[in-house]
């Protein structure tokens, strides 16, 4: 069940990304069918995982065939990735001490939520925070990063003028702590494990 904190967090993030995208205008090339950000495994929080599971449950009620297809893609992805998973492959929890190993892990693996026929996300409304902000200029420890397909030919100043500003860390931390308590699980995971039909012990 999506918490009030998560609903508020998603509302703030989506509003901020819409405002930044409006400033960016034509520099942003994100559109239905572009799957650049849907290829390659990335870490998600337990809050993201809970939102994805809720989204999958809702999809399975509305459209059972699509829901089953997502579950099957997740199951097959876990089968492919388990042997080299940089963490606890049974629980799907990443080991922070193996972060460097994770950098080169499954970079060509499509997200299980991605419908390979349509190029659309079957769980778009429930997508992780990383997916929601991808493409816009976002400041990290490495600097201001953008999708390689967006802002082509833009100057540093033009990119900086479109920076996505988020001040959601405390809200996200609280909501994630609540999600971890509810799941009795701590640490980051990946989408495929979050969407398994049943959590492993």
Distance CA 162, CA 153 (A): 14
Residue 31: pLDDT band (50, 70, 90) is confident
Q: Which residue has the higher pLDDT, 198 or 62?
A: 62
Residues in Cβ contact with 104 at an 8 Å cutoff, skipping those fewer than 6 apart: none
Q: Residue 144's pLDDT is what?
A: 83
Give the number of other CB atoms < 10 A from CB of residue 33.
Answer: 7
Distance CA 24, CA 158 (A): 8
Instruction: Report phi then psi at 119, rounded to 5.
Output: 75, 20
Question: Per residue in 64-104, pLDDT tens?
Answer: 999 999 999 999 999 999 999 999 999 999 999 999 999 99
Would you list the DSSP string of 97-150?
Answer: GGHHHHHTSSTTPBPTTB-TTT--BTTGGG--HHHHHTTS-EEETTEEE--TTS
Predicted model pTM: 0.91
Question: Per residue in 154-192, pLDDT tens?
Answer: 999 999 999 999 989 999 999 999 999 999 999 999 999
């Amino acid at each position: 069940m999506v918490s009030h904190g998560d609903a508020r967090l998603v509302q703030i993030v989506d509003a901020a990304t819409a405002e930044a995208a409006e400033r960016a205008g034509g520099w942003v090339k994100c559109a239905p069918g572009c799957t650049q950000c849907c290829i390659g495994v990335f870490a998600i929080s337990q809050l993201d995982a809970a939102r994805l599971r809720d989204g999958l449950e809702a999809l399975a009620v509305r459209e059972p065939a699509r829901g089953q297809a997502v579950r099957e893609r997740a199951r097959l992805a876990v089968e492919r990735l388990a042997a080299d998973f940089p963490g606890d492959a049974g629980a799907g929890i990443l080991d922070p001490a193996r972060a460097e190993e994770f950098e080169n892990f499954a970079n060509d693996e499509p997200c299980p939520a991605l419908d390979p026929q349509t190029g659309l996300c079957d769980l778009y409304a429930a997508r992780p925070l990383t997916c929601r902000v991808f493409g816009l200029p976002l400041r990290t420890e490495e600097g201001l990063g953008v999708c390689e397909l967006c802002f082509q030919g833009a100057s540093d100043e033009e990119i900086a003028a479109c920076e996505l500003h988020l001040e959601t860390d405390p809200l996200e931390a609280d909501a994630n702590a609540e999600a971890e308590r509810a799941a009795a699980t701590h640490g980051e995971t990946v989408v495929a494990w979050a969407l398994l039909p049943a959590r492993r012990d």
